[in-house]
Amino acid sequence: MSNNRIILDGCISIFKDNNELDNNDSEIFELFSLTQIHKDKSLTYENIESSIVDGGNDGGIDALMVLIDEEYVENIDDLENFKFSNTTKSRFIISQCKKEKSFKESAIDKLITTIPVLFDLEKSERNLLTRFNSDLVNQVLLLVDVWKKTIIGGGSIFIEYIYATNATEIEVNDVFNQKVSQLIEQTKNIFSTDQIFFNKYSSAELLSLYQKQKSNRLALEFKDRPLSTDYDENGIGYIGTVKLANYKEFLTSETGDIRDDLFESNIRHFQGLVDVNKKIKKTIENASNEDFWWLNNGITIIAEDPKEVGKKLTIENIQIVNGLQTSYSIFNTHNGSQDDNRSVLVKVIINNNKETTDNIIASTNSQNPVSATLLRATEPIQRNLELFFLNEGYYYDRRKNYYKNQGKPSTKIFSIQYTAQTIQSIVFDDPHTARARPTSLLKSQTTYNNIFDDNKNFKGYLNCCLINKKTHNFWLKHNALDIKLKTSNFKLHLSCVVIKELFNKKSVSFDEIVEVDLESIDQNLFDRSINLLNEKIDAYLAENENRNLINIAKSKEFTNYVFDKYE
């Protein structure tokens, strides 16, 4: 075994321990590889897990990701948050992660066979399900929808193949390269784009990515020394102008892309060439006697641990909470020339109080057309849930990747949407909506208020997350592959069945969930529950021959069919 592979095995072991994972070696390698390869993207553990589609009938595909302007898209319900235009860049990432000692031609052969079938627009959902598992088909349906919307909007399509193994180094023969070329040419013909990439990762590349730490401290160079001012003992602020070229440099990552993670507390998507951005673009492109900051509201940054040296201010834990449209416009349009003496107004607020930070985020975004969903994290009940989870030894991720960036174990991190889905499923007997339209749970004020209620015992929220997590872990280790494949779209249903089986009744109250003994959710209970769900799926499909696994998972009628067993 090479040194690289020995060291990488140690790194994977640390990754497994730090994240408190209990998966098998192949699954751990897959999670580790995807996490390292996408380290610079703003992805959560949930995003990576939801992209994984392997486990049988997968056509040689282990994971499939859909990104719009580098923003991960989890399901079709999310697409209403995006505007498709001629600036839209949609990226489809198809991955193979194999804990094998070499790169094999057979892996490429599978893709060459699979890709034309998966992305034949004449194939129906039913046709695809006769050959591929429902997780893969779900991701393909999402990809096709994004593909169509992007092309209609005049945007660009990028397709990236990833092949990762724990081989000592990248070593392939001419036949392998010829097959990769065949796959790329085939993909070009299907998607009518030249933007096709095939990237290989061995132990050497994965180890290099693991060692590469995401920079948490950046330097911002002002045009003149920034004005600093404090407010009693509550914090300090810096105000000044930054040359457009220097601000673009501040936004640019080592790979030359924009540092998307800086905007996690701001508007989630660049709005493209809408009227306001067209005006910003025109102003940047056409220098005049007017400085840029005279015509623009500027940038607001929240950060920690400032160190000022002359005109430079270095800061940590940076969040650009206002000015995303301006920032993207500068990054996309400015040529980076230092000869351009124009500048943008930047204010940097140093404050470690989470409630104050939330108030800043809410107020700085209030003038923009932002969905209420994006500001849920700042509401008092969300802050209180975070504190409760912390006190119980878990992490409620109000703001995307906050705890991941602190190195907290992935198995103990729960997002707002994940929590909402588990409550809607387990408490309100509605797994079909929670699965099919998760975004609506947060957007609808009525639904949101039903789910997030200050009068409820917060222990119930944590228990629902833990019930769902524990059920999912049992499902991952289930040995009956046919049953596992059949129930992959019904994981939320499965959590509901587990609770109903535990109490042996249809209606389980929130108070009963608060008091539930999590140790009672054991292997025997899970086996009983998954077998029952499997039988119900078979029986329902036999009675409804025009239905399939994907559409019944979204059906209230099927949910009632399952739950009526307990009446």
- What pLDDT score was predicted for residue 267? 47
- What pLDDT score was predicted for residue 368? 46
List C-alpha distances in Å: 237 to 297, 350, 357.
Answer: 17, 6, 13
The answer to whether residues 63 and 95 touch, using CB atoms and an 8 Å cutoff, is: yes
What integer is the mean pLDDT of 506-531?
A: 95
| Nearest C-alpha neighbor of 247 from the set 212, 226, 222, 275 | 222
The SS3 of residue 535 is helix
| CA distance linking residue 444 with residue 438, whole number of Å | 11
| CA distance linking residue 361 with residue 376, whole number of Å | 11
| CA distance linking residue 257 with residue 428, whole number of Å | 43
- Helices marked H in 119-259 — which ranges? 125-129, 134-152, 174-191, 203-211, 244-251
Q: What are the tokens at 339?
A: 């000869």
Q: Are residues 343 and 472 both part of a single domain?
A: no
| CA distance linking residue 235 with residue 349, whole number of Å | 7
Q: Are residues 225 and 168 both part of a single domain?
A: no
Q: How many domains does the chain have?
A: 3
Long-range CB contacts (< 8 A, 24+ apart) of 398-403?
Answer: 399/264, 399/265, 400/42, 400/44, 400/264, 401/42, 401/43, 401/44, 401/261, 401/264
- What pLDDT score was predicted for residue 254? 77
- What pLDDT score was predicted for residue 273? 56
- What pLDDT score was predicted for residue 272? 54
Q: What are the tokens at 180?
A: 């990769």
What integer is the mean pLDDT of 225-240?
A: 86
Q: Are residues 189 and 249 both part of a single domain?
A: no
- What pLDDT score was predicted for residue 152? 95
Q: Are residues 101 and 181 both part of a single domain?
A: yes
* Cβ contacts of 229 within 8 Å, gap of 6 or more: 236, 237, 239
Judged against a pLDDT cut of 60, whether residue 240 lies above it is answered with: yes
| Nearest C-alpha neighbor of 421 from the set 158, 36, 50, 17 | 50
| CA distance linking residue 547 with residue 545, whole number of Å | 6
Rg (CA), the chain: 25
Q: Tell me how far the alpha carbon of residue 330 is from its chain's centroid.
A: 26
Residue 150 zone, left/alpha/beta (φ > 0; ψ -120 to 50; rest): alpha
Please say which residue of 184, 211, 238 terminates a domain: 211
What integer is the mean pLDDT of 406-426?
A: 93
Query: Any idea which of 113-117, 250-254, 311-315, 344-348 has the lowest mean pLDDT?
Result: 250-254
Judged against a pLDDT cut of 50, whether residue 552 lies above it is answered with: yes
DSSP structure class, residue 273: S
| CA distance linking residue 11 with residue 262, whole number of Å | 27
**Residue pLDDT, tens place only, 141-170:** 999 999 999 999 999 999 999 999 999 999
Judged against a pLDDT cut of 90, whether residue 344 lies above it is answered with: yes
- Which helix (DSSP H) or strand (DSSP E) does residue 563 occupy? helix 556-563
| CA distance linking residue 151 with residue 159, whole number of Å | 14
DSSP string, 37-69: HTTTS---HHHHHHHB--SSS-TT-SEEEEEET
| CA distance linking residue 120 with residue 142, whole number of Å | 14
What percent of the chain is predicted at pLDDT more than 70?
Answer: 93
- What pLDDT score was predicted for residue 447? 92
Q: Are residues 458 and 525 both part of a single domain?
A: yes
Please say which residue of 370, 393, 410 terminates a domain: 370
Q: Are residues 205 and 227 both part of a single domain?
A: no
Q: Are residues 341 and 430 both part of a single domain?
A: no
Judged against a pLDDT cut of 70, whether residue 362 lies above it is answered with: no
DSSP structure class, residue 121: T
Q: What are the tokens at 116?
A: 């034309």
- Which helix (DSSP H) or strand (DSSP E) does residue 162 occupy? strand 156-165
Please say which residue of 211, 246, 271 terminates a domain: 211
**Mean pLDDT score of the chain, rounded to an integer?**
89
For residue 99, give its domain range: 3-211
pTM of the model: 0.79
- Helices marked H in 261-392 — which ranges? 275-285, 324-333, 354-365, 380-391
- What pLDDT score was predicted for residue 214? 58
| Nearest C-alpha neighbor of 352 from the set 500, 433, 234, 466 | 234
**Which of 254-268, 326-340, 357-371, 396-410 shows the highest mean pLDDT?**
326-340
| CA distance linking residue 17 with residue 28, whole number of Å | 11
Q: Are residues 304 and 230 both part of a single domain?
A: yes
Q: How confident is the model at residue 3 (pLDDT cuts 50, 70, 90)?
A: confident
Q: Are residues 235 and 95 both part of a single domain?
A: no
Q: Are residues 333 and 405 both part of a single domain?
A: no
- What pLDDT score was predicted for residue 371? 46
Q: Are residues 245 and 205 both part of a single domain?
A: no
Q: Are residues 200 and 124 both part of a single domain?
A: yes
The answer to whether residues 492 and 468 touch, using CB atoms and an 8 Å cutoff, is: yes
